[in-house]
Structures are given as structure tokens and as C-alpha cells.
Amino acid sequence: DTEVTQTPKHLVMGMTNKKSLKCEQHMGHRAMYWYKQKAKKPPELMFVYSYEKLSINESVPSRFSPECPNSSLLNLHLHALQPEDSALYLCASSRGTVNTGELFFGEGSRLTVL
Amino acid sequence: KQEVTQIPAALSVPEGENLVLNCSFTDSAIYNLQWFRQDPGKGLTSLLLIQSSQREQTSGRLNASLDKSSGRSTLYIAASQPGDSATYLCAVIHGFDGGFKTIFGAGTRLFVKA
């Protein structure tokens, strides 16, 4: 099973809302990633968790708050977002050391901030 | 600083044609290189991963080659089909600040005409 599952597929939220994106993998991968992708652009790395600990934060604004409850789950908590945060949010996982193994992506969560 | 370039940005071919997508990188000291496919509004699907010690990888109608010395990788698609229409991204993994970093190219948008 080489699957990364993301929920919800679509999310619309106002600037005062609090919502969460969820990601799950059962491949035994110990590195998990959040990427943000704008239209016609490549994915941009936001956060990396390695063995359930935050390993990399690419200077992401605090209105994005990641959480890794266990080795299979990764959440991204959203609060007080701006319309420019509207994008496709992608979760990925890989085996072994951060950023060295084959990356497996989920289908993404399309976020619209009104 | 590692930079990844994909040329052409867009490509339209008739069904059945063999085609080559190009990926070039500026720093040859890479750890590995991965090719992805992305359908509109969807996540990235891993196609092929080439380790730095390898010269090529094959999967079905796809063949990816790697020439580190010249800073190039190519993705060869044989007998193209309309279902191959998608954006193809290459990603280079290289050493950075004691760890590793994944750098994506901007992608090549492929359209295969029936």
C-alpha cells in the first residue's frame, strides 16, 4: 500500500474560522511533510516531521500550526488565514532520513479562504 | 545554490509519438532525482526515482536517465497516449546545511492529442 490519504478534499473557510487538514499513511514512513502549491507552480515545503518531531519549519506564519499525533498521522491546524493562503495543500511521506527517500504524496486538500 | 529547470514549459504532441522531457540542475552533487506526474487539481504521483549512483530507471513506457556530470535528467515516454496528458515535475534531492533538501522544477505541461 503506497497511499497517503488526505481529508478533506475541499475546504472553504472564512478568515476567522479554525479548521484542520488531516493526513494519514500506513507505509511505516517516519518522515512526513506538508507542502503548499499555488496554481501552475511547484510545491513549496512548509513543514517536515521526522520520527514525530518537527524537523523543519520553512518560516511558515504561525496561523499554520502542524501536529504529528503519532507516526501515521499528520495534521495542519488553520486559524485566522488570509485569502492569499488559498492553495492546494499536499501531504507527503518518505522512508528513512528526512528528504532522502522516495516521496509519496496524497491527493491534496484544496483550501479556499474567503 | 541548486536550481532545477524544466524545458519545455509546455508540449503538445499527437497520440503515438515518442517524446522526451528534460530536467537540468546546476549542482551535480545530488543524492537522488525523482520524476512525478500531476493531474490538474490533484496530488503528485511518483513515476521513477533514480539514485545518484544509477544511470537510468524504467517503468512500463517510461524511462528516466540521469547524467550527473552534465546536470541533466530526461524522461522518455514511448507511444504517448491521451491519458499521459498531465504536468510532469522533476525533483532533485541534494545536500544542504548538514541535511538534505528537495528542489522541484516548475514542470512541463504535456498534452497528447487523440
Q: What is the DSSP letter of B73?
A: E
Chain B residue with Cα closest to A33? B102
**Partners of B90 in the beta sheet?**
B35
Per-residue pLDDT tens over the stretch B45-91: 999 999 989 999 999 999 999 999 999 999 999 999 999 999 999 99
A48 in Cβ contact with A31 (< 8 Å): yes
Q: Which residues fall within 8 angstroms of residue B97, CB to CB, at 6 or more apart?
A: none
Per-residue pLDDT tens over the stretch A32-78: 999 999 999 999 999 999 999 998 888 999 999 999 999 899 999 99
3-state secondary structure A35-100: EEECCCCCCEEEEEEECCEEEEECCCCCCEEEEEEECCEEEEEEECCCHHHCEEEEEEEECCCCCC
Chain A residues touching chain B at CB-CB below 8 Å: 2, 4, 6, 41-43, 45, 56, 88, 90, 92, 97-100, 102-108, 110
Interchain proximity B105–A6, CB inside 8 Å: no
Interchain proximity B45–A105, CB inside 8 Å: yes
Pairs of residues, one from chain A and one from chain B, whose beta carbons lie less than 8 Å apart? 50
Angle (nearest 5°) at CA B8 between B71 and B56: 40
Judge if the upstream peptide bond of residue A8 is cis by omega within 30 degrees of 0: yes
- Mean pLDDT across chain B, nearest whole number? 94
**Nearest chain B Cα distance for residue A76, angstroms:** 17
- Phi/psi for A83 (5° steps) reads -55, -30
pLDDT at B38 over 90: yes
- C-alpha distance from residue A1 to each of A21, A35, A74, B14, B48 (Å): 22, 22, 18, 34, 17
Instruction: Give B96's pLDDT tier (boundaries 50, 70, 90).
Output: confident
- Mean pLDDT across chain A, nearest whole number? 93
Chain A residues in contact with B105 by the CB 8 A cut-off are 42
Q: Are strands A104-105 and A109-113 parallel, antiparallel or unpaired?
A: unpaired
Chain A residues in contact with B36 by the CB 8 A cut-off are 105
CA distance A20 to A44: 19
